[in-house]
Amino acid sequence: MNVRKKSEWIQKYGLFILVLVVWISYIFIMRFFFKSDTDKNSAGTFGDMFGALNTLFTGLAFVGVVISLLQQNKALEQQNKSLIKQQQALDQQKTVLEQQQEALNIQKNELELYKNELHKNNIQLTEHSVHMRLQRIENTIFNLLDAHAKDIENIYSKHQDYIKLKGYELLEEILDKLISTNRVKNVNSYRDSDNYPEYVYLGNVQGAYGKFRYIIKYIDQLEDVTYNQKQDFMRMVDAQLSTSVSSLYLYKIYFHSDDETYGEILKKYKII
């Protein structure tokens, strides 16, 4: 039993034990001093002398009640302190929870900002990916146009008037003659092949013309590319063709019925 428990035990039972000891002692004293009948007759007078003892016991009882009340008051104060401490602990816990909630709100805001940043990055990556794809398409078209230009240089004529000319120089000379003789007025005039023996006698035309048809078909069949983007590619191709080359291709498109599909493609993108 520790000191604290001993102290509590003495406070609870000490007074009771003291009263009990006094009363037992009193009984033995009375029997010791008043053994004879004479003594018993004078016992009443002698007992009155112990009235003060009864007063003492009454006072002790009152003190015991007071002590009990004080102990109860002390217990209540301790309980009140305990409740105050619990309230303080709850307040501290509430403060911690509020701080945690604030930290979570900050983290949520940071995550939202990070999410928005990721969204922006995704948009930029998508735009960059689209731009890179369009750039690759443009590079492919330019490579095809380079190959097409080399094929143009290999075009020659079996016509006696142009036998010494080749390539762009030959086509420019033919176009000049067609214009000077008023045979080139509109695209529909190319349907009469007898008026254009200069084109009929050309050699090595299919290589260049075949690449031209492949280029416009390649552009028309591009996937995930808008109409305006395709139209820009078509205009880029048209800008790379000289007037004489365009004149030759218009003749080929409108004279040969199997090539009318390519004419429709050019009309679709407002090239002719």
Tens digits of residue pLDDT in 13-44: 666 676 667 667 766 666 666 555 545 555 55
pLDDT at 96: 92
Q: How far apart are CA 123 and CA 129, in angstroms?
A: 10
| Residue type (1 letter), 257 | S
Domains in the chain: boundaries? 3-110, 134-268
Phi, psi of 196 (to 5 degrees): -130, 60
pLDDT at 62 over 90: no
Per-residue pLDDT band for 179 (boundaries 50, 70, 90) equals: confident
pLDDT at 198: 79
The closest of 210, 143, 148 to 135, measured between CA atoms, is 143
Q: Check: CB of residue 138 under 8 Å from CB of residue 236.
A: yes
Q: How far apart are CA 32 and CA 56, in angstroms?
A: 23
Which is more confident, 182 or 176? 176
* Residue that is written with structure tokens 């003659």 in the block: 177
Q: Check: CB of residue 184 under 8 Å from CB of residue 110.
A: no
Q: Is the pTM of this model over 0.75?
A: no
Q: How far apart are CA 26 and CA 33, in angstroms?
A: 11
Give the gyration radius of the chain's Cα atoms.
61
Three-point CA angle 261, 265, 267, nearest 5°: 115
Q: Check: CB of residue 148 under 8 Å from CB of residue 211.
A: yes
The closest of 198, 111, 211 to 157, measured between CA atoms, is 198
pLDDT at 152 over 90: yes
Q: Which residues pair with 157 in a beta bridge?
A: 202
Structural tokens at position 65: 């009640």
- Residue 150 half-sphere exposure toward CB, CA atoms < 13 A: 5
pLDDT at 201: 83
Q: Check: CB of residue 255 under 8 Å from CB of residue 205.
A: no
